[in-house]
Amino acid sequence: MTDSRDNVLAAVARGVRVGSLPPGASLEHPGAPPPLIRPSDREGMIASFTRELEKLMGTVHRVADDAQAQTRVLELLDARGARRVLAWDDEWLRPAGLGQVLRTAGVVTESCWLPQEGADRTARLKALDDVVVGITGAHGALADTGSVVVVSGPGRGRIASLLPPVHVAVIGADQLSPTLAAFLSANPGVADVGSNVVAITGPSRTGDIEGTLVLGVHGPGDLHVIVIG
């Protein structure tokens, strides 16, 4: 439908050229967003992140060091009787060595790799259907909104934060940004990093039936963020 492309663009161009600009419209880009003044110190950001995510019924675990983080992950798995997890590849997991620690503890770490071809892909997805916990790192986190920003990539599958009903994200306190705007301006090329960038702000939820809040409709209804440092 090449004709349509040209016709649509021509029609738009005509409207743009001959029409009058609605009030407030400018040919110049309005520039950078207005600044949001939010705590940008470490403790202030951790406090805000925790408050916001917990309002949304996510859980924040603040731990002092890598060892504590590993323990906390194992506790979360034990509490759910999870012997299999869907996890990012070892090199992307925090704290370093977490994958090995899990396997040593007898936990099976499933890879996020999906075959390209339809039948194999479906078979793989079905095999992962009953995995209870997904474990990921994050590209960043937003203190103002309680979000974790997860970017896909080699060894960093989207499905780890999506398919299992429990999502555990381990981040460093140094990964917090005060706001979404601050994150974007510090990571201008984030769309080049992976085909999927997602800001996850709380557990999956719906209010479709009479506004009753239900968690965990499709995505994980149980979200844990472990903050190291």
**Min separation Cβ 111 and other proteins, Å:** 7
Number of shown-chain residues binding other proteins (CB under 8 A): 91
Applying the rule CB under 8 A, the residues between 91 and 150 that interact with other proteins are 111-114, 116, 118, 121-122, 125-126, 129, 142, 144-147
**Which residue number, 42 or 218, has a Cβ lying nearer to other proteins?**
218
Interstrand relation of 147-151 and 140-142 (parallel, antiparallel or unpaired):
antiparallel
141: closest CA among 183, 181, 196? 183
Residue 67 vs 217, nearer CB to other proteins: 217
8 A C-beta contact, residue 135 and residue 87: yes
The stretch among 75-83, 99-107, 131-139, 208-216 that binds other proteins (CB under 8 A) is 208-216
In whole angstroms, give the CA distance from residue 83 to residue 139: 26
Nearest to 206 by CA among 219, 225, 188: 219
Of 64, 79, 104, 207, the one binding other proteins (CB under 8 A) is: 207
Does the footprint of other proteins cover residue 21 (CB under 8 A)?
yes
- Which of 72, 158, 164, 171 lies at the binding interface for other proteins (CB under 8 A)? 158
Q: Per DSSP, what are the bridge partners of residue 206?
A: 214
Q: Encoding tokens for residue 43?
A: 């403790």
Of 145 and 175, nearer to other proteins (C-beta) is: 145
* Contact with other proteins (CB under 8 A) among 76, 135, 162, 168: 162
Does residue 158 contact residue 149 with C-beta atoms inside 8 Å? no
Q: What is the CA radius of gyration of the chain?
A: 21
